[in-house]
């Protein structure tokens, strides 16, 4: 009893805020763990008890007690439940230990319970006075949530629910008896939910375990109620909460609507503070509610290779659940017959029809099929239409289906529109189209477009590239323009088959359109032709492709000439350069088209580069691609997809494999444009304005919404717009391969305006520092040899090879730099340099690491130790990497330590090597050092960064004390290095495999798994992600770097845009991020050039804003920046993600200096400490500097570090209870030879508790402030209570003494009376 009471008091927050009290139980059970899920508003830990052996094949149950605060009976029940389980006091509860993973929050509202222990009628709110019972997001009404005002307890529970998928959750309260379940907030008295029956059945069975509940005076089950509408009486069956009371924002509704878990609210007692008997009365109810997690159907979802798939959706007649770790799932269902459907990402759906489900039914492993959406048989017209209708039905939010007309034989020409805005044109988003099967016997394009439609639909919001395409493009797909011809065609594996080529009128549709050079005969247009012509009139398409068969080439306009004669005559159109460019986009990304061999069996090149001008090949009069371009300003090419026009279905997967990337890249080419709007000076949009490009006779017009797209190749183009005598300025627009250029034309009436030429270089929005990304002049391009005369008056430098005698020859040329500029090259062991002031001298040899010395004119002789670069590198296994860490710790015990931040899904440790001069094992480095981190391997197959970091730590260890720069870095900084964030992925990765091992063991991309600033995270939080988040929050790193592979560029936030478009999305700290990224790129031998070396975009200066390259949701660098105030950049280290070992050495040579440069730049900015007038630390100080970026919070010890690009800034230091202080700060480029003094700040207290800057304090600051306040109040209360108790005892003792004296006096009086009588 005493033990439970002590634990209950602890959980209520009345004892120590540490969790050590619970650790006594860990000795009795290995599967027990006591942690905290977060802090309350009052600063108290919210305890979390886990009783689990982490068995993946067991369902997880969450138990959350005392949301209301003064329901101390619920705390008592939960604590007694924990005690009974751990000490196995109850045989009925003991089986729960082996059946379930139990996660228990014994006291959510610790602030309220603290007040309730003093006065049971108080404590119904948290430390900020917020009622937590109605503080959760109202998902039913989709009410927007202001994250800044979400109570910390609510945030903690939301994170708790995200990190584990619970099959059922029990919320425990008091003040009544009974069991309720969602919904708690409805529009009517009872709003049925899909899981209503199973909720009722379980609640009824649980309720029956405590017959005293119904007879209690406060029972929710006494009397009649609205549930009679369901043929039940409340005293017999429990009700939805809405039948009991209406309440919005409840925890129960949030859990059910957000996560789909079965959710129950158990009220255990009428009394708010009942004794231990209440647990005995409710333990049977507890047991039944927990057992609900194992009711109905359970099984496992696995990939074709047997890997468990976490996050698969399992539906049963509308009941929705998800698989957890290892792919295991539980779907609580009442007995009955169900149609089971299981889906996961792009995998084909698994269906189990008419499955009989009993109380507990196990489903055999559901093995997902092949990812490929390609069929191996051709679909006829009926099947194709069924597929299109099915896709529209499955994905109504991103698709639209319409017919543009009918064929001769009455078949619909169906078009599937796919995009974020499928129903209508959205200004600023281009319309794109693919047309297939124009010739009925050329069937490959028809099949490819059906497969493409499936790919786009199934991967929206899962694949970032496809999500970006659909968010920025409206894609129209007409799989069959000639369905009649297809039905007449017959499979023949050659390019000469003509059956079905024409339509049902035997007309070739690709000779049936109006022609610019030749009037067609007056035999009329075919229905299919007319339908397409009207389609082009109704929609303003920007880019298009027409899919044919019979050869292998990308064919572009013009298709004929005035003479109509071919003979190899090139018929050039005005946009010839762009047509060649976009044709090569398709051919270059095709498996074989780019070879140009077409159908020549002898391997000779027929079409160089896989492209051809139409007429140069053969003339076509009345062709569709020329009609698109000439009459409707739509740039269309014709794609010949293979020599066989109608191949056997078994070859369709091969065609899909060859064309898949090309089909996506060609869609993306619609954004290779100058785009914008045409407006009047007052902002009115102008339709049908003519857009001109100098030296290009082709004009096009703005659309009804005033928007336009002009497809152009990279270069400088003069453009202008005009309409009805009004004209814009002429503008020189610079088009690059990096991004779409946005320019809005304004039409003027004065001719003077027309003569002005504006030189316009598009800069993405919010970008401020252009100069920072200018391509630098490399220092190694100029070499100055110092003369003998100069050497006599300089500093003598002697080079020594590390570990060798001083007289040992270095044996190669040593390059010398002064303050970053290359001065000379020395071929011996000794050199003299003219030093006139404090300088940074760096030395580098082809076989040596760069060494650094800080010299001034007082030094005459200096010895420099050169450390050999490794002569070969190999990949380290997980064990080999840990051995390296152990060796470093052995060799450098005073500056290194190893610690574990968590486990991967397959239980590999996430090991961090911490390096900083001082005894890292005792934590001495924590007090006054800036913490930074270096992370590699977030994608397991991008292994270069992993190996660079493993070798870098060995260099740090060897160079400390010998190399000035490394020594000063380790003396000043606290560096944490995690080479392998995704060790499971690395274990699966293979050389030259682009994607294998990229994801973790659960097939989740960890760089799409973090909470996002824009998009809701669709996938469960992975253990690696959770570990990084916890680590980052605890350590409060100031800078970070994440090492990737697949390109060569330094990227910085933000990683996504509001629309998902490929646009520049700068952060508030954009200048600083550009500076950090540029510094890395400039230190790399080739990155700074920004050359297109990976078949990728060209990056000016070797850097890119993340969203500007491509938009991704859930990225790590954005999360670090916004949630931890950590300036993180992402480095793509090379084209080959997982190169062969013989390529590793050069990669390391290229990147070790930029990595050191980044470590140096972590001190770029200003730093210091904030104290009050007495010298005491001021807590919760916020630095506000709008010209730099986001607000930064100082550490608890008053120290702060603000990373900032060079410049002049106004910085305001604010803290609650203190006057704000403004400083004007000049930031210079960091100079490690002479680091500037810290900027220490003194804040004066104010009489007002809250200053005018309190609005800048974040939630965490207010929480810590309240923590101090409540601790003080708590201490005062303890003293007062103790004083009252002592005063009472003293008064009671005094009263007893007075009573005894009175009785003594009375007794003596009686004695004296007796004596007198005698």
Q: Name beta bridge partners: 33.
A: 50
C-alpha dihedral sign at 884, 887, 893, 899: positive
Q: What residues have CB less than 8 Å from 951, skipping those under 6 apart?
A: 870, 873, 1148, 1152
Pairing relationship of beta strands 821-826 and 814-818 according to DSSP bridges: antiparallel
CB-based burial of residue 487 (10 Å sphere; 0-12 exposed, 13-18 middle, 19+ buried)?
middle
- The CA-to-CA distance between both ends of the chain, in Å, stands at 61
Strands in 106-261 per DSSP E = 168-173, 176-181, 239-240
> Rounded to whole angstroms, what are the CA distances from 1318 to 720, 1304, 1309, 1313?
137, 21, 14, 9
Q: Name beta bridge partners: 34.
A: 49
To the nearest 10 degrees (0 to 180), the angle between helices 1070-1083 and 1141-1161 is: 140
CA angle 793, 799, 804 (to 5 degrees): 150
Respond yes or no on whether the N-terminal peptide bond of residue 127 is cis (omega within 30° of 0): no
Total residue length of the chain: 1318
Of the candidates 526, 722, 1132, 1264, the residue annotated as catalytic is: 1132
> What span, in angstroms and rounded, lies between the C-alpha atoms of 942 and 985?
9
Pairing relationship of beta strands 1192-1193 and 1182-1184 according to DSSP bridges: antiparallel
Of the candidates 252, 288, 636, 640, the residue annotated as catalytic is: 640
Task: Name the 3-class secondary structure at 1137.
Answer: coil
> What span, in angstroms and rounded, lies between the C-alpha atoms of 894 and 899?
15
The pair of three-digit structure tokens given for residue 1178, joined into one six-digit string: 């001021």
> What span, in angstroms and rounded, lies between the C-alpha atoms of 887 and 944?
21
> What span, in angstroms and rounded, lies between the C-alpha atoms of 348 and 368?
7
> Rounded to whole angstroms, what are the CA distances from 775 to 540, 770, 1090, 1153, 1207?
40, 11, 8, 18, 20
Burial 1071-1106 (b: 16+ CB within 10 A, else e): bbbbbbbbbbbbbbeebbbbeeeeeebbbbbbbbbb
Q: What residues have CB less than 8 Å from 153, skipping those under 6 apart?
A: 38, 40, 41, 46, 108, 109, 126, 132, 135
Q: Is residue 1298 annotated as a catalytic residue, yes or no?
A: no
> What span, in angstroms and rounded, lies between the C-alpha atoms of 1260 and 1264?
6
> Rounded to whole angstroms, what are the CA distances from 1226 to 416, 1038, 1193, 1241?
58, 20, 20, 15
Q: Is residue 640 annotated as a catalytic residue, yes or no?
A: yes
Burial 1142-1157 (b: 16+ CB within 10 A, else e): eebbebbbbbbbbbbb
**Best CA proximity match to 1023, nearest among 52, 255, 325, 311:** 325
> What span, in angstroms and rounded, lies between the C-alpha atoms of 634 and 629?
5
> What span, in angstroms and rounded, lies between the C-alpha atoms of 564 and 874?
63
Asked if 34 contacts 75 with a C-beta cutoff of 8 angstroms, the reply is no
The pair of three-digit structure tokens given for residue 375, joined into one six-digit string: 């069929």
DSSP 1218: B
> What span, in angstroms and rounded, lies between the C-alpha atoms of 810 and 830?
10
The pair of three-digit structure tokens given for residue 628, joined into one six-digit string: 């698109």
CA dihedral of 4, 10, 11, 14, whole degrees rounded to 10 = 130
Residues that are catalytic:
640, 1132
């Amino acid at each position: 009893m005493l033990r439970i009471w002590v634990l209950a008091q602890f959980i209520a927050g009345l004892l120590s805020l540490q969790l050590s009290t619970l650790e006594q139980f860990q000795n009795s059970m290995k599967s027990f763990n006591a942690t905290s899920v977060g802090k309350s508003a009052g600063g108290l830990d919210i305890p979390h008890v886990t009783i689990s052996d982490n068995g993946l094949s067991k369902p997880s149950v969450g138990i959350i007690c005392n949301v209301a605060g003064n329901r101390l009976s619920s705390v008592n029940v939960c604590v007694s439940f924990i005690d009974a389980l751990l000490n196995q006091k109850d045989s009925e509860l003991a089986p729960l230990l082996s059946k379930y993973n139990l996660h228990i929050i014994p006291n959510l509202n610790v602030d309220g319970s603290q007040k309730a222990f003093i006065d049971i009628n108080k404590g119904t709110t948290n430390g900020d006075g917020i009622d937590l019972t109605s503080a959760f997001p109202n998902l039913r009404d989709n009410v927007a949530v202001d994250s800044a005002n979400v109570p910390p307890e609510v945030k903690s529970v939301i994170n708790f629910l995200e990190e584990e998928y619970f099959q059922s959750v029990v919320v425990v309260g008091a003040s009544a008896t009974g069991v309720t379940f969602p919904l708690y907030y409805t529009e009517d008295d009872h709003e049925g939910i899909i899981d209503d029956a199973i909720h009722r059945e379980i609640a009824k069975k649980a309720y029956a375990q405590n017959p005293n509940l119904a007879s209690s005076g406060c029972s929710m089950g006494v009397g009649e109620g609205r549930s009679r509408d369901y043929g039940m009486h409340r005293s017999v069956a429990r009700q939805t909460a809405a039948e009991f009371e209406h309440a919005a924002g409840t925890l129960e509704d949030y859990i059910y609507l957000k996560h789909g878990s079965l959710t129950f609210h158990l009220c255990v007692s009428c009394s708010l503070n009942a004794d231990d008997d209440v647990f005995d009365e409710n333990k049977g109810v507890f047991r039944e509610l927990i057992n609900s997690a194992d009711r109905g159907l359970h099984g496992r979802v696995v990939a074709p290779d047997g890997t468990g798939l976490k996050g698969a959706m399992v539906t049963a007649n509308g009941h929705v659940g998800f698989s957890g770790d290892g792919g295991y799932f539980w779907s609580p269902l009442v007995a009955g017959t169900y149609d089971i459907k299981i889906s996961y990402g792009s995998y084909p759906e698994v269906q189990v029809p008419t499955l009989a489900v009993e109380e507990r039914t196990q489903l055999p492993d559901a093995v997902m099929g092949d990812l490929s959406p390609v069929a191996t048989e051709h679909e006829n017209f009926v099947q194709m239409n069924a597929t299109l209708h099915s896709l529209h039905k499955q994905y109504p939010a991103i698709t639209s289906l319409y017919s543009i007309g009918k064929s001769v034989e009455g078949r619909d020409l169906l078009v599937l529109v796919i995009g974020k805005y499928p129903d209508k044109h959205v200004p600023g988003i281009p319309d794109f189209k693919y047309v297939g099967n124009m010739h009925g016997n050329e069937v490959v394009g028809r099949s490819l477009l059906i497969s493409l439609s499936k790919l786009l639909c199934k991967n929206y919001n899962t694949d970032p590239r496809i999500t970006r395409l659909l968010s920025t493009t409206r894609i129209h797909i007409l799989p069959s323009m000639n369905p009649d011809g297809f039905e007449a065609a017959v499979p023949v594996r050659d390019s000469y088959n003509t059956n079905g080529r024409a339509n049902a009128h035997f007309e070739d549709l690709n000779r049936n359109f109006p022609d610019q050079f030749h009037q067609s005969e007056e035999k009329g247009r075919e229905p299919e032709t007319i339908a397409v012509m009207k389609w082009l009139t109704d929609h303003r398409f920007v880019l298009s492709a027409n899919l044919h068969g019979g050869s292998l080439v990308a064919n572009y306009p013009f298709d004929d000439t005035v003479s109509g004669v071919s003979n190899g005559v090139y018929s050039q159109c005005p946009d010839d350069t762009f047509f060649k460019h976009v044709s090569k986009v398709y051919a270059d990304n095709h498996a074989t088209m780019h070879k140009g061999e077409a159908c020549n069996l002898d391997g000779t090149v027929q079409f160089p580069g896989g492209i051809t001008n139409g007429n140069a090949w053969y003339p076509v009069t009345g062709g569709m691609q020329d009609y698109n371009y000439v009459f409707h300003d739509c740039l269309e090419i014709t794609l010949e997809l293979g020599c066989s026009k109608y191949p056997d279905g078994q070859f369709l997967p091969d065609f899909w494999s060859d064309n898949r990337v090309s089909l996506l890249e060609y869609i993306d080419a619609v954004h290779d444009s100058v785009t914008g709007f045409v407006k009047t000076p007052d902002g009115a949009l102008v339709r049908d304005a003519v857009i001109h490009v100098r030296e290009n006779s082709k004009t096009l017009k703005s659309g009804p919404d005033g928007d336009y797209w002009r497809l152009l190749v990279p270069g400088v183009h003069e453009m202008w717009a005009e309409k009805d005598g009004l004209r814009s300025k002429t503008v020189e627009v610079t088009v690059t391969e990096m991004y779409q250029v946005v320019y809005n034309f304004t039409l003027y009436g004065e001719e003077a305006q027309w003569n002005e030429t504006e030189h316009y270089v598009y800069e993405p929005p919010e970008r401020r520092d252009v100069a920072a990304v200018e391509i630098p002049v490399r220092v190694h391009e100029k070499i100055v040899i110092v003369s003998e005369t100069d050497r006599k008056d300089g500093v003598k430098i002697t080079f020594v090879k590390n570990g060798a005698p001083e007289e040992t020859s270095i044996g190669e040329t040593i390059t010398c730099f002064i303050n970053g500029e290359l001065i000379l090259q020395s071929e011996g062991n000794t050199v003299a340099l003219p030093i006139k002031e404090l300088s940074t001298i760096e030395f580098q040899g082809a076989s040596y690491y760069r060494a650094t010395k800080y010299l001034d004119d007082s030094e005459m002789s200096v010895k420099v130790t050169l450390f050999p670069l490794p002569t070969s590198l190999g990949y380290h296994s997980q064990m080999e990497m840990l051995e390296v860490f152990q060796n470093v710790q052995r060799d450098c015990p005073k500056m290194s330590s190893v610690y574990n931040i968590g486990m991967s899904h397959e239980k590999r440790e996430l090991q961090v090597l911490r390096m900083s001069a001082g005894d890292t094992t005792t934590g001495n480095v924590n007090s006054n050092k800036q913490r930074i981190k270096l992370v590699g391997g977030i994608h397991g197959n991008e292994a270069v960064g992993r190996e660079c970091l493993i070798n870098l730590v060995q260099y740090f260890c060897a160079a400390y004390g010998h190399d000035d720069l490394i020594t000063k870095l380790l003396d000043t900084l606290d560096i944490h290095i995690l080479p392998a964030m995704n060790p499971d992925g690395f274990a699966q990765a293979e050389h030259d495999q682009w994607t294998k091992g990229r994801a973790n063991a659960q097939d989740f991309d960890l760089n799409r798994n973090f909470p996002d600033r824009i998009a809701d995270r669709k996938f469960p939080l992975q253990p690696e992600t959770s570990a990084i988040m916890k680590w980052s929050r605890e350590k409060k790193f100031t800078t970070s770097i994440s090492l990737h592979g697949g390109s060569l560029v330094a990227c910085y936030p933000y990683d996504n845009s509001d629309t998902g478009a490929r646009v520049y999305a700068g952060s508030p700290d954009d200048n600083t991020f550009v500076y950090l990224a540029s510094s890395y790129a400039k230190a790399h031998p080739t990155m700074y050039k920004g050359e297109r070396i990976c078949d990728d975009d060209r990056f000016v200066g070797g850097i890119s804003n993340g969203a500007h390259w491509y938009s991704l949701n859930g990225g790590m660098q954005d999360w670090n920046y916004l949630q931890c105030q950590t300036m993180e950049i992402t480095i793509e280290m090379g084209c080959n993600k997982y190169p062969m070992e013989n390529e590793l050495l050069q990669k390391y040579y290229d990147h070790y200096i930029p990595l050191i440069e980044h470590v140096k730049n972590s001190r770029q900015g200003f730093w210091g400490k904030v104290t009050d007038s007495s010298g005491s630390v001021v807590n919760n100080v916020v630095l506000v500097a709008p010209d730099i970026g986001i607000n930064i919070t100082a550490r608890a010890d008053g120290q702060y570090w603000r990373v900032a690009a060079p410049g002049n800034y106004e910085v305001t230091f604010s803290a609650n209870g203190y006057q704000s202080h403004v400083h004007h700060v000049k930031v210079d480029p960091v100079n490690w030879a002479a680091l500037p003094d810290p900027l220490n700040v003194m804040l004066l207290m104010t009489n007002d508790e809250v200053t005018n800057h309190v609005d800048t304090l974040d939630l965490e600051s207010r929480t810590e402030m309240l923590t101090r306040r409540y601790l003080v109040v708590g201490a005062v209360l303890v003293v007062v209570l103790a004083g009252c108790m002592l005063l009472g005892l003293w008064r009671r003792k005094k009263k007893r003494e007075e009573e005894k004296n009175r009785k003594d006096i009375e007794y003596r009086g009686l004695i004296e009376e007796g004596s007198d009588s005698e």
